[in-house]
Amino acid sequence: MSEQQYAISQYPDVDEVYARLNNLISQPMRSVRPEKMQEYLAYFDNNCKRSKELTDEAKTYIPGGVQHNLAFNYPFPIAIEKAADAYMWDVDGNKYIDFLQAGGPTILGSNYAPVREKVTEMLQSCGPVTGLFHEYELKLAKLIQQHMPSIEMFRMLGSGTEGVMAAIRAARTFTKKRIVIKVGGAYHGWSDSMVFGLHVPGTGRLESAGIPWGATSSTEEFFPNSLGALKRQLILNRLLGGTAAVIVEPVGPESGTRPVPFDFNRKVRELCDEFGALLIFDEVVTGFRLGLGGAQGYFGVKPDLTVFGKCVTGGFPMAGGVGGRRDVIMTFAAGIGGIGKKAYVGGTLSANPLSCVAGYYAIKEMERTNAPVIAGKAGDRLTAGLNAIIEKHGLPFVAYNQGSIVHLETSGVMLLDFRNPIRLAKELKPRKHMIEQMGAAYMANGLITLAGSRMYTSMADTDAVIDEALSRFEAVLSECV
């Protein structure tokens, strides 16, 4: 491991980021000029014909034509045939620089051969699943603990969503309290109790179709970075039987789209201690991406429980788990005899040999290559280049990064919330449409982003890849009027 252990070389000046974002949202939108946008949209009709055929046909069999939330791209989804390192190729043979990186798990780059080979060996010897114990479960748990000492025990599960569900259940069982507080706008997966205050702070049950009121009645949200509001809720909850846990994404909701001040996590830790609530870090994105010690190592804050996903299997299926304090994790029932009430967890395919071997070697490769730091440097280079383009063209856009998590805000849609409902009602749709268009414009220029506003860099992003990407970004951004 080189001197720098974490992906973040310099923590963003959060006040400055918000000042720039507020400036962005206070102005009319600066979109790609309409004639140019028509040209970009024509790219899809002319160059992505097979993608269109496939995803049109899929609409007959699959609701919406695509299954993954990140794949609902404007003007229509593209179908991918091949992925390697920093690139993806669609079924029409178009090549893209891939800043989606599957939504975050592939810090080593897509389809990384050394891990794939270990997985293939496992498939040949054992197959993907047996239902019984495999040594790699132990190896993975020990390796995680070695890098994140707060993980005294680890329970592997099927996804980040399951990890969050399990963490909340363990927290409630352990504390014997009911209420869980999250940050408004944060995404912690799609379990019943967490589809609350989703994406836009203050929206509560707006997206809770199909979820009974009872399932969200013990979930509360507070506005991003409002420690005063959190404290007030903790005080109030004391009268209602207490708070079982506060769950946060340590860089801020939506992978730091609303970034937190550096000392935010420490202050939340203090409040949790004061009120007897457990602190859950959702490190589904940050775990290993920010460094092998995770966000908890970077911020120097010890959570009671940590949720894992994505990087924990290096992009292989069934990426999820929860780890933390021995006394809390021991509340889980499965596999543990004993007395008292236990929190139930399960999963036919959880902790299968394939996922565990993938996770073990992905983390070993991250250790060997220093991938999180290399990916972080690529994120720094991309961000610096984007800011130079923004300045050169006199645009109000905002680029900042937390290592390999890069944000490029062009519409400011993420800054809208229920504190200003009139602006929210008026601007949500057009500003959302603008980032859809930006995403399409980038894609027509051979760049795949997450929803037109976020990029995950990986170890495969060499300087040459980033510089090529920057010239493509400039082609789009210079057309914004």
Ligand X SMILES: Cc1ncc(COP(=O)(O)O)c(C=O)c1O
Tokens found for residue 107: 């810090």
CA–CA separation, 401 and 141 (whole Å): 30
Residue nearest to ligand X (CB): 160
Cβ-contact 136, 360 below 8 angstroms = yes
CB atoms within 10 A of CB 421: 11
Distance in Å, CB of 252 to ligand X, minimum: 10
The residue among 224 and 385 lying less far from ligand X, judged by its C-beta, is 224
Contact status, residue 97 vs residue 472, Cβ threshold 8 Å: yes
Q: Which is nearer to ligand X, 249 or 304 (CB)?
A: 249
Instruction: Mention every residue, 6+ apart, whose C-beta is less than 8 A from residue 434.
Output: 29, 31, 410, 411, 413
> Are 125 and 153 contacting, i.e. CB atoms less than 8 angstroms apart?
no
Q: How far is the CB of 291 from ligand X (least distance, A)?
A: 17
Give the Å distances, CA to CA, from 47 to 52, 69, 81, 353, 420. Answer: 10, 23, 15, 40, 42
Nearer to ligand X, 189 or 291 (CB): 189
As a whole number of angstroms, the distance between CA 454 and CA 477 comes to: 15
Supply the DSSP symbol for 332: B
Residue nearer to ligand X on the CB measure, 241 or 317: 317
Instruction: Find the catalytic residue in 85, 98, 282, 304.
Output: 282
282: annotated active-site residue: yes
- C-beta of 70: minimal distance to ligand X in Å? 9
Which residues in this chain contact ligand X in the complex, by CB under 6 A?
Answer: 103, 159-161, 164, 187-189, 249, 282, 284-285, 309, 319-320
| 284 vs 357 by CB, closer to ligand X | 284
Element (H, E) at 364: helix 353-369
CB of 188 to ligand X, least distance (A): 5
Q: Catalytic residue among 36, 52, 310, 377, which?
A: 310
CB of 21 to ligand X, least distance (A): 20
Residue 187 annotated in active site: yes
Long-range contacts of 232-239 (CB under 8 A, 24+ apart): 233/181, 234/181, 234/271, 234/274, 234/275, 234/277, 235/275, 237/179, 237/181, 237/275, 238/275
Using alpha carbons, select from 81, 88, 138, 150 the residue that is nearest to residue 328: 150
CB of 313 to ligand X, least distance (A): 10
Kindly tell me which of 158 and 385 has the beta carbon lying closer to ligand X.
158
Pairing of strands 243-248, 179-183: parallel
| Options 6, 40, 87, 187, the catalytic residue | 187
Residue 310 designated active-site:
yes
Q: Which residues are catalytic?
A: 187, 282, 310
